[in-house]
Chain A
């Protein structure tokens, strides 16, 4: 049981603001990936962190940034929010050798 948690559950922000989303687990999986899921779409890969360093990035601008901490928890930061950033943001943990990614319940971000 990986018990991936994300906070907050829901968030409403205004265009131009900044937001920080959080992901944590007690599983010890050392790799965290972040995905953006727009309404009616499949998740899109934002980036991945391994041992506190970015280990790959999708087609997202630099205003999307992240951090991974020594306890493997992670943050996703988005600056200068745009309306199109409204989506469900999912974090996924991996690195246990079973090639599976364990997803959290997501944070629903609404930008008005």
Chain B
């Protein structure tokens, strides 16, 4: 069964500093990978997705992620964070044959002035 591990439950960072949120997945088949953001009391918004092709994926709000097949990782990065980036971030994996998403437990990004 597929699984997703987000190693950091919470990442505190100062405004304008860079940040990396880590995600590792386990799967023996080809997968599609996603990062979602959830603001308080809201649903999930897609930040970016990897389906195929270039391993560096750019998303909304200045976020990017790199797919590393050998390390089964899909880490999310942003070179300079804003206060408004404070939210919960979820990594998810979907196998190519089914629409089900498997989510990690989430990483809370806390940006302070």
Question: Residues of A at under 8 Å CB distance from B?
Answer: 4, 31, 33, 35, 40-45, 48, 55-56, 58, 90, 92, 94-95, 99-106, 108
Does B45 interact with chain A (Cβ within 8 Å)?
yes
Please state if B45 and A33 are interface contacts (CB–CB under 8 Å): no
Interface size class of B (residues with CB under 8 A): 20 to 34
Chain A residues closer than 8 Å to B94, beta-carbon distance: 99
Contact flag A56-B99 (CB < 8 Å), given A41-B106, A42-B90: yes
Please state if A90 and B44 are interface contacts (CB–CB under 8 Å): yes
Contact flag A48-B103 (CB < 8 Å), given A99-B32, A99-B49: no
Task: Kindly identify, within residues 1 to 35 of chain B, every residue whose CB is under 8 Å from any CB belonging to chain A.
Answer: 4, 32, 34
Task: Kindly identify, within residues 37 to 66 of chain B, every residue whose CB is under 8 Å from any CB belonging to chain A.
Answer: 41-46, 49, 51
Pick the residue among A43, A44, A95 that contacts B44 (CB under 8 A). Answer: A43
| CB nearest neighbor in B for A59 | B1
Chain A's nearest CB lies how many Å from the CB of B91?
Answer: 9
Question: Residues of B at under 8 Å CB distance from A?
Answer: 4, 32, 34, 36, 41-46, 49, 51, 90, 92, 94, 98-106
| CB nearest neighbor in A for B104 | A42
Contact flag A43-B101 (CB < 8 Å), given A103-B43, A103-B44: yes
Please state if B103 and A43 are interface contacts (CB–CB under 8 Å): yes
Pick the residue among B49, B90, B98, B103 that contacts A56 (CB under 8 A). Answer: B98
Chain A residues closer than 8 Å to B45, beta-carbon distance: 103
Chain A residues closer than 8 Å to B34, beta-carbon distance: 100
